[in-house]
Amino acid sequence: MTDIWAALPKGESSMDMEFSPEDLAFQTEVRDFIAENYPAELRGKQDEGDELGKEDFLAWHKILYKKGWVAPAWPVEYGGTGWTPTQRFIFSEEIARADCIRLLPFGLSMVGPVIYTFGTPEQKARFLPRILSGEDWWCQGYSEPGAGSDLASLRTAAVRDGDHYVVNGQKTWTTMAQHADWGFFLVRTDKEAKPQEGISFLLIDMKSPGITVRPIITLGGEHEVNEVFLEDVRVPVEQRVYEENKGWTCAKFLLAHERTGIAGVASSKRGVERVKAIARTELDGDGPLIDNPFFKRKIAELEIDLTALEFTELRGLAGPNAGKGPGPESSLLKIKGSEIQQRLTELTLEAVGHYGAPYFRGFGEGDNEHPIGPDYAHRAAPTYFNMRKTTIYGGSNEIQRNIIAKMVLGL
């Protein structure tokens, strides 16, 4: 494939989906590197559905960092790979095909691009190298108890006091905050301005006095998200990104990157293969479930939608290559990607049948009972419940439809 979705004459609908010899060589290089370097202990943990800790995430991160492959989408001058959109697509496909643990997006895909786009030279020099190396673990302080998809109504306040801001408020659904070294927070710095015009973007050391992190246990049974309370937290003004009261510009930029990542096309393709494998094993009457025409139809419909989403993502990848960031199409990717992920978990739960009922999370120290049913069934129910969130976080799908109506359709 030459650069993906090269400009076609108006009215033409065909495109070259063949990889070039150079791209095929790159694919082999990536596949061989993963086979030789991906830690075996991580692959086992994912296969068995074990809860992954901070060191598990960082182990693969550091391997890719040493190779120079940890941030493919970053500009070369800040540590990116310089790969074409096609190569980045191949890389994500191979990572998913090998069932590698995902790299957490908060540093690499969210605040990193904000810093290299809007940050000062000092901020870039201070934060970007440590994001790449994994030395700093980041979390996102956006949502509040009264400000979720209506993010502009946030109330966490930052009052200027000399060369510091004093921050008070509460954030919620803060993923992995229990491990975070730093957080990027939206705070209100002008209560009199229109909602979007009085917000600033702060980088806050999570070890600062006045920060309290409390766990929220999800429907899947994991400690993944948290509440974060800020009480008279002093933040140097030099840790504000971009201008005071202009943080909404950074917020929108970041959310476009987040929504593009939520699409998860490569991992969903891997998920479809998992469902097929389960359906070949599980019985439906005298034959395998995969031969049930109703179940087969559900898989086919899912694959068709996933292929369409993949083509949309490929088309979107050409944007950054032309010097553009993610646009309104990121909302489309978020909507369809999250819906497909939920349908995948529904099909998985349907495929494992009654084996999903015990709702096993795995067995820890002191457990002496053997799980009921096949290994692939133990995570079906927890994953199903956990994935109910995908159509809500990153801006609910209802909000994304409004964005498309306004920015794409002009309604």
Q: Note the pLDDT of residue 157.
A: 98
CATH top-level class of 137-243? mainly beta
**How many angstroms separate the CA atoms of 143 and 248, rounded?**
14
Q: Given this model, what pLDDT does residue 17 score?
A: 55
Residue 86's pLDDT is 85
Name, in order, each residue with C-beta under 8 angstroms of 334's C-beta and a sequence gap of 6 or more.
259, 260, 262, 263, 394, 395, 397, 400
- Write down the pLDDT at residue 7: 32
Residue 239: per-residue pLDDT: 98
User: Is 251:151 a contact under the CB 8 Å cutoff?
Assistant: yes
Max alpha carbon distance in the chain (Å)?
A: 76
Q: Which two tokens stand for residue 65?
A: 């960092």
pLDDT at residue 2, rounded to an integer: 37
Q: Which two tokens stand for residue 144?
A: 């509040």
**pLDDT score at 1:** 42
Rounded Cα gap, residues 337 and 362, in angstroms: 28
369 and 201 in contact (C-beta within 8 Å)? Answer: no
Angstrom CA distances, 312 to 189, 304, 334, stand at 38, 13, 11
Neighbours of 249 (CB within 10 A): 17
Q: What is the pLDDT of residue 328?
A: 66
Q: CB of 84 within 8 A of CB of 321? A: yes
pTM summary value:
0.85
CATH architecture, range 264-363+370-409: Up-down Bundle (1.20)
Residue 35: Cβ-neighbour burial (10 angstroms; 0-12, 13-18, 19+)? exposed
Task: Give the 3-state DSSP-derived string for the chain, with helices as H, strands as E and coil as C.
Answer: CCCCCCCCCCCCCCCCCCCCHHHHHHHHHHHHHHHHHCCHHHHHHHHHCCCCCHHHHHHHHHHHHHHCCCCCCCCHHHCCCCCCHHHHHHHHHHHHHCCCCCCCHHHHHHHHHHHHHHCCHHHHHHHHHHHHHCCCCEEEECCECCECCCHHHCCCEEEEECCEEEEEEEECCCCCHHHCCEEEEEEECCCCCCHHHCEEEEEEECCCCCEEEEEEECCCCCEEEEEEEEEEEEEEHHHEECCCCEHHHHHHHHHHHHHHHHCCHHHHHHHHHHHHHHHHHCEECCEEHHHCHHHHHHHHHHHHHHHHHHHHHHHHHHHHHCCCCCCCHHHHHHHHHHHHHHHHHHHHHHHHHHHHCCCCCCCCCCCCCCCCCCHHHCCHHHHHHHHHHHHCCCCCHHHHHHHHHHHHCCC
Residues of the chain with CATH 1.20.140.10: 264-363+370-409
Domain with CATH 2.40.110.10 in the chain: 137-243
Predicted pLDDT at 317: 62
Q: CB under 8 Å, gap of 24 or more: what pairs does 60-68 form?
A: 60/100, 60/101, 60/103, 61/103, 61/104, 61/134, 62/133, 62/134, 63/37, 63/38, 63/39, 64/103, 65/132, 65/133, 65/134, 67/33, 67/37
For residues 178 and 224, give the distance between their C-alpha atoms in angstroms, rounded to a whole number. Answer: 9
Distance CA 267, CA 329 (A): 20
Q: How far apart are CA 406 and CA 192, in angstroms?
A: 27
* Integer angstrom CA distances of residue 388 from 145, 338, 341, 380: 18, 9, 9, 13
**Which amino acids are annotated catalytic?**
258
pLDDT in tens, the chain (411 residues): 433 333 333 333 334 457 889 999 999 999 999 999 999 888 867 655 567 889 999 999 999 999 999 999 999 999 999 998 889 889 988 998 888 998 999 999 999 999 999 999 999 999 999 999 999 999 999 999 999 878 899 999 999 999 999 999 999 999 999 999 999 999 999 999 998 999 999 999 999 999 999 999 987 778 999 999 999 999 999 999 999 999 999 998 887 766 666 678 888 998 899 999 999 999 998 999 999 999 999 999 999 999 999 888 777 665 554 445 556 667 888 899 999 999 999 999 999 998 887 655 545 555 566 667 888 888 888 888 888 888 888 778 888 888 788 877 888
